[in-house]
Amino acid sequence: MPRSFEGELRADGLRFAVIASRFNDEIVSGLLDGTLECLARHGATDDAIALYRVPGAFEIPTLAAKLVSDCDAVIALGCLIRGDTPHFDFISAQVTNELSRISVDTRVPVAFGVITCNTYEQAVERSSKGRGNKGWEAALAAIEMASLWRKLRTKES
């Protein structure tokens, strides 16, 4: 049987930076509510969560790069809705690539809660309270990955 490593869904003792864009704020507010509810339900205290607001999704990676050294995981929240120009494609690709690069380069989990939707209705569906809230899902991924990283660091010591 191979050795197995897995993070736990316990946020107590972990520090989180949550970066939420203000663009499409009515949608991002739902993602943020889901994120904060998930973190609290899994044991994160208010003083272990730092919330940062930025103008739009494009600004998230720059701040994430600055914050990774101060936390166990970053949770990025934003909403991009396809329009009539290629702007959506440029921004969504750049944000996705940069957040992934930051996580890999720094070895700090960056959870991706930036939703990319074709319609406003899809965005509402993914940010509404309850099952399927992508902010909740991003927080859950952040908790599990931060927990796993902590286990691996402890194992290496």
> Which two structure tokens, joined as six digits, stand for 59?
């600004």
Instruction: Give this prediction's pTM.
Output: 0.94
* Contact (Cβ atoms closer than 8 angstroms) between residue 43 and residue 10: yes
**Which CATH number does the domain housing residue 133 bear?**
3.40.50.960
Tens-digit pLDDT profile for residues 128-148: 998 899 999 999 999 999 999
* Contact (Cβ atoms closer than 8 angstroms) between residue 133 and residue 126: yes
Q: What percent of the chain has pLDDT over 90?
A: 87
- Judge whether 68 lies within some domain: yes
From 87, 101, 107, 153, the catalytic residue = 87
What's residue 157's pLDDT? 57
87 is catalytic: yes
User: What number is the average pLDDT over the span 28-42?
Assistant: 98
- Judge whether 139 lies within some domain: yes
User: What number is the average pLDDT over the span 6-32?
Assistant: 96
Tens-digit pLDDT profile for residues 95-127: 999 999 999 999 999 999 999 999 999 999 999
Total structural domains in the chain?
Answer: 1
